[in-house]
Amino acid sequence: MNWKYIVGEILLIFVGINLAIWFNDWNSSKTIQKDKEIALTKIKEEVENNLQQLLESREQNQKIPLFYMELDSLKNEDEELVLGPEAMKSFVGKYENFFTAIDSVPSEDGKYKYEGDTFINLDITDLSSIAWDISKSTGIFHEFGFDCLYRMQGMYNTQELVQTELRKATEALSNKSIDDLVRILSFMNQLEEQLEEQYRAMIENIDNCK
């Protein structure tokens, strides 16, 4: 019996098995890394799109509290809108999509008592979390690292809070509860400022998650 030959064959088999295991691990690691990079790219795109939508929606919706604050400041103690023609023209020009004067009655000192209709439209923005949800459902989010994962979860939690307040604002508008609408939008503005900061920080730093 050629023991050297047998030992050599055993060593070759052992080396072959270990090489196969190493190659399989390397291939799996490479696949995971590729999936991780794809997931992070999709999340970054999602955050960039959400940021753009957030800024546009916020610009529109935050005009609503300003409109009502200015409208209230222009009314007299009898809750009447009594203004000079130039002041009224300036107000309507500033909030042309919110207020339309439909009638005016001469008052004193060259002023008029105005009657008008208000039109309030909320910009309903559906901020996406699809990329984040898929990352969680596939389990690839475990590869992001604790710090990155912590910041991502916090960002999407704030996003959900914004969406919740937007639903409340929609309900308040539907119920014609203007005081509630203004209060909700004012609070929502604070959340949106926080979310904007989180979005920008994530866009800037997400490559560090790779």
pLDDT tens string 31-75: 667 878 888 999 999 999 999 999 999 999 999 999 999 989 888
Counting residues of the chain whose pLDDT is more than 90, the rounded percentage is 48
- Mean per-residue pLDDT of the chain: 85
Instruction: Tell me what pLDDT residue 10 has.
Output: 55
Instruction: Tell me what pLDDT residue 55 has.
Output: 97
Instruction: Tell me what pLDDT residue 182 has.
Output: 95
Instruction: Tell me what pLDDT residue 12 has.
Output: 52
111 vs 5: which has the higher pLDDT: 111
Instruction: Tell me what pLDDT residue 9 has.
Output: 53
pLDDT tens string 9-41: 555 555 455 544 544 444 445 566 787 888 899
206 Cβ neighbours under 8 A, 6+ residues apart: 40, 43, 44, 47, 148
Instruction: Tell me what pLDDT residue 108 has.
Output: 81
**DSSP secondary structure string, the chain?**
--HHHHHHHHHHHHHHHHHHHHHHHHHHHHHHHHHHHHHHHHHHHHHHHHHHHHHHHHHHHTHHHHHHHHHHHHB-TTS-EEE-HHHHHHHHHHTTTTEEEEEEEE-STT-EEEEEEE-----------HHHHHHHHHSGGGGG-HHHHHHHHHHHHHHHHHHHHHHHHHHHHHTT-HHHHHHHHHHHHHHHHHHHHHHHHHHHHGGGG-
Model confidence band, residue 78 (pLDDT cutoffs 50, 70, 90): confident
Instruction: Tell me what pLDDT residue 28 has.
Output: 47
pLDDT tens string 140-168: 888 888 899 999 999 999 999 999 999 99
117 vs 45: which has the higher pLDDT: 45
Tell me if 100 sits within 8 A of 116, measured CB to CB: yes
> Phi first, then psi: what are they for 140, rounded to 5°?
-70, -20
- Ordered by start, the domain boundaries in the chain are 43-73+122-210, 74-118
